[in-house]
Amino acid sequence: MNDTLPRRGVETRDRLLETAEQAVLAKGFAATSIDELIATVGITKSGFFYHFKNKEELAKALLQRYIDNEDVLLDSLFDRADELHEDPLHGFLIGLKMLAEMMTDLPDGHPGCLVASYCYQENLFSKDVHALNKEAVLAWRSRFRDRFDLIAARYPPRVEVDLDALADMVSVLVDGGIIISKVVREKNVLPQQIMLFRDYVRVIFLGT
Amino acid sequence: MNDTLPRRGVETRDRLLETAEQAVLAKGFAATSIDELIATVGITKSGFFYHFKNKEELAKALLQRYIDNEDVLLDSLFDRADELHEDPLHGFLIGLKMLAEMMTDLPDGHPGCLVASYCYQENLFSKDVHALNKEAVLAWRSRFRDRFDLIAARYPPRVEVDLDALADMVSVLVDGGIIISKVVREKNVLPQQIMLFRDYVRVIFLGT
DNA sequence: TGTACATCAGTGAACGCGCGTTCACTGATGTAC
DNA sequence: TGTACATCAGTGAACGCGCGTTCACTGATGTAC
């Protein structure tokens, strides 16, 4: 075996998480059975319980992995955008455009947000899962709030605006856009909403 | 028995639906058991199956009831707003303000949107539930699109804007706002987003 | 006005299946000396 | 370099409980004649 590859167990665990994420996004956590996961991954039930001490542990690992992935993705996206334009406003507008394009490029639309999914099944989960979820949303808030502070310092807003609310609007539009996209089966709804937000940001700080 | 009151069976059915809606919004449809519903309503399991031929029927009735209620609510809200101002734009701005206030007045924040809940458990439901869900979102789109056409005829937009996307933004912000509100446990997030949208609409059609 | 029958709104008991979890065990790989 | 032991990544069988659904039955109310 090539020793740069992960060990067998890590690989299996990742496949369990990947399979579970898809299933949870499609039908919810409660309706996702361990039996179905092990069937697609190809191990036995005891194999599952070697990797996760119970189903709740799976829920936690799933959410943590999802949040970490999203964070890395956003970091790299806005870092690349800033490389294309040193100005905080224009760099951000480029980043939003790239975000919209990324959403457009997903073949079947966005597969769904675990934070939103867990939110509508909150009674299934423990306090630390709730805390993890809340932390993730607050991280997005402060990420974009910091950016808007930078922008506002250079471009005083043309209209009165609550920058925390504007920062939250990103999460709100993404989570809401995913839902509306999925329900009407039009994958362009989500990128459209991001572009609409981009126009709003431009009009706030540039006045068109 | 007073004959203006609903018959006994109708009343029980409504209590089942009400109980079920709360439970589904808190933990999802799959994790909501018939046993728990009959326990709170105070009938036996066979009593439940007298009212709904199976659990899928409950899902359908639940969603239909939710959509109908929302429709009546929005109709009456924007009708009242229009009575306060005959202009389509200003009537709409008043309506959005009233909507935001209504959300603020909910003691524990918005309890959740069944459309969003079902969306994240779509594999549990049949084609006609999906159709019902889609229909509901499209109804909101055309409701607000019609309004924006009326407004745009009198107030030509100051910036280029896709009115269908702008109409979808209401659903997107409501569904997204509910999620973010719930996750961070700040009930003002949702009304704030509606007010932010209201500012956007004003700047689009009035230029501040 | 009284009787026969139908419908409404349930009851009570039983069903089989799938679920999450446990327990004793195992064969392959890694590490210490 | 060979052997002893530990850890990793699972297997296989069994468990009890809760779930949705069915079936035969019932007592109260409504309707026809």
Kindly report the CATH number assigned to the domain that includes residue B17: 1.10.10.60
| DSSP H helices in chain A | 8-27, 34-41, 45-51, 55-84, 88-105, 114-119, 127-154, 163-184, 189-206
Please, which pLDDT band fits residue B4 given cuts at 50, 70 and 90? very low
Distance A52 CA to D10 C1' (A): 13
Among A13, A30, A53, identify where a domain stops.
A53
The total of other beta-carbon atoms located within 10 Å of residue B28's CB is: 26
| Dihedral of alpha carbons B64, B66, B71, B73, sign | positive
Nearest to A77 by CA among A147, A179, A133, A135: A147
Burial class (CB in 10 A: 0-12, 13-18, 19+), A90: middle
Supply the DSSP symbol for B3.
T
Tokens of A124: 């299934």
d(CA B5, CA B53): 25
The total of other beta-carbon atoms located within 10 Å of residue B46's CB is: 8
Distance A2 CA to D30 C1' (A): 81
pLDDT value at position A3? 35
Amino acid residing at B63: L
Mark whether B19 and B61 lie in a shared domain: no
Phi, psi of B207, deg, nearest 5 = 65, 60
Please, which pLDDT band fits residue B10 given cuts at 50, 70 and 90? confident
Supply the DSSP symbol for B10.
H
pLDDT value at position A7? 56
Q: Which three-class secondary structure state does DSSP give residue A160?
A: coil
Its pTM surpasses 0.85? yes
How many structural domains compose chain A?
Answer: 2
Contacts A120 to B, Cβ<8 Å: 25, 28, 112, 116-117, 120, 179
Cβ–Cβ gap B179/A180 under 8 Å: no
pLDDT value at position B2? 37
Task: Write down the mean pLDDT value for chain B.
Answer: 95
Mark whether B131 and B189 lie in a shared domain: yes
Mark whether B82 and B42 lie in a shared domain: no
pLDDT at B179 over 80: yes
Is the minimum distance from the CB of B4 to strand D below 7 Å? no
Residues in chain B: 208
Mark whether A31 and A122 lie in a shared domain: no
Mark whether A67 and A135 lie in a shared domain: yes
Among B14, B32, B53, identify where a domain stops.
B53
Tokens of A72: 């890395």
Q: Is A163 on the interface with B (CB under 8 A)?
A: no
Mark whether A48 and A144 lie in a shared domain: no
Mark whether A41 and A108 lie in a shared domain: no
Q: Which of chain A's residues 117-146 bind strand D, using a 7 Å CB cutoff? A: none
Average pLDDT over residues B14-34: 98
Cα of B93 vs its chain's centroid, Å: 19
Tokens of B157: 């937009």
What is the domain-level CATH number for residue A71? 1.10.357.10
pLDDT at B1 over 50: no
d(CA B56, CA B62): 10
Mark whether B143 and B61 lie in a shared domain: yes
Mark whether A127 and A82 lie in a shared domain: yes
Average pLDDT over residues B130-154: 98
Nucleotide nearest to A8 (CA to C1'): D9
Contacts A180 to B, Cβ<8 Å: 137, 168, 171-172, 175
Q: Is B181 on the interface with A (CB under 8 A)?
A: no
pLDDT value at position B208? 82
Q: pLDDT exceeding 70 applies to what percent of chain B?
A: 96
Predicted confidence (pLDDT) per residue in B75-85, tens digit = 999 999 999 99
Mark whether B158 and B142 lie in a shared domain: yes
Residue-by-residue pLDDT tens, chain A, 208 positions: 333 344 566 799 999 999 999 999 999 999 999 999 999 999 999 999 999 999 999 999 999 999 999 999 999 999 999 999 999 999 999 999 999 999 999 999 999 999 999 999 999 999 999 999 999 999 999 999 999 999 999 999 999 999 999 999 999 999 999 999 999 999 999 999 999 999 999 999 999 8
- The nucleotides of chain D lying under 7 Å from a protein CB are 8-14, 18-24
pLDDT value at position A208? 82
Distance A2 CA to D2 C1' (A): 26
What range defines the domain where residue B66 resides? 55-206
Q: Which of chain A's residues 12-71 bind strand C, using a 7 Å CB cutoff? A: 32-36, 45-46, 48-49, 53-56
Is the minimum distance from the CB of A28 to strand D below 7 Å? no
Q: Which residue bears the tokens 């996750």?
A: B183
Mark whether A117 and A184 lie in a shared domain: yes
Mark whether A117 and A195 lie in a shared domain: yes
Please, which pLDDT band fits residue B7 given cuts at 50, 70 and 90? low
Among A53, A75, A96, identify where a domain stops.
A53
Average pLDDT over residues B86-96: 98
d(CA B119, CA A25): 9
Compare all CA atoms of chain B with the CA of A116 and give the residue at the minimum distance: B179
